[in-house]
Amino acid sequence: MLSTIIASWGHPVLFTISSPEWFFATLLLMPWTTYPAWKSKYLSPWLIQHCTHTIISGKSYTMLTSIFSYGSTSYLVFMLLAAPIANICASSWFMHSLQLQSTYESTPTFHMTAFFLSAGMFSLFSSRILNYVRFRTLNHLEKSFKNVSLVPPLRSSSNPFRRVSGASGVIYASITLAACEWGDKIYTDTRLGSTSITMSDLWKIWCAVEGIFMVMGVGPINWAAHICGAAYGALYQQYGPAMWLWFRRTLGHYS
């Protein structure tokens, strides 16, 4: 549905943005502008009520605003460091994908926008499901072992880290795109002799470690959002371009 709406934005040949990666970077770094409002004691309660998403709220627009809603200083630093890397990975992949397609789309801007928003919402919701399954599984195992606590304390719904899973999921989805596309490149560490490993293997190891942290409940970080973002990036690298072309043809942009 989201991709259909974005795909319907005008005729693709009219959009000739020379550097679409800057457009993507603008969207990716948009939460920075909301940071002062989240730190305000007057605006923060209103933002929590009207801009963060819960299943029982009955508000559809919060599915988008939740992606950009946070007021954590440490997370702002994370975005500062990770966003440029994700920007390079995503823009390179989309430009490469555009060159392989026999279409008259002059820029991947709208395709990138659809990916950005869909990756954010996917990681936002799927991470909650994954955390729920994890909690239920550990809770069931805990009942099998007396005097053993396997389930970390539940975080408060007002914790700012619960509202940032969408943006962090986009970061991991973007990096995964590049890791899947160009992951066969070899990284060699001469300090360890002839040790060689592909970039995709390095990324798999990184995600596996975060998966362990997720199960253990290490730190106030939503590890599940990172894992779900990486999963979305892998799926999109395989099926995303075909899905995008299908949407465009459905809307009559391609013959």
DSSP string, 80-134: HHHHHHHHHHHHHHHHHHHHHS-S----SHHHHHHHHHHHHHHHHHHHHHHHHHH
**pLDDT for 153-197, tens place per residue?**
544 444 444 455 577 888 899 899 888 888 776 655 555 555 667
- Please report the pLDDT score of residue 220 as a whole number: 72
Say whether pLDDT at 10 is over 60: no
Average pLDDT over residues 45-73: 69
Query: How far is 59 from 75, CA to CA, in rounded Å?
Result: 25
- Please report the pLDDT score of residue 224 as a whole number: 87
- Please report the pLDDT score of residue 230 as a whole number: 93
Q: What is the pTM of this model?
A: 0.72
Say whether pLDDT at 129 is over 80: yes
> Which range has highest mean pLDDT (51-55, 102-106, 230-234)?
230-234
Query: How far is 100 from 186, CA to CA, in rounded Å?
Result: 24
Q: What does the domain layout of the chain look like in residue ranges? A: 2-24+72-250
151 or 226, greater pLDDT: 226
- Please report the pLDDT score of residue 199 as a whole number: 79
How far from 78 is each of 28, 29, 63, 199, 221, CA to CA, in Å?
A: 12, 11, 22, 22, 12
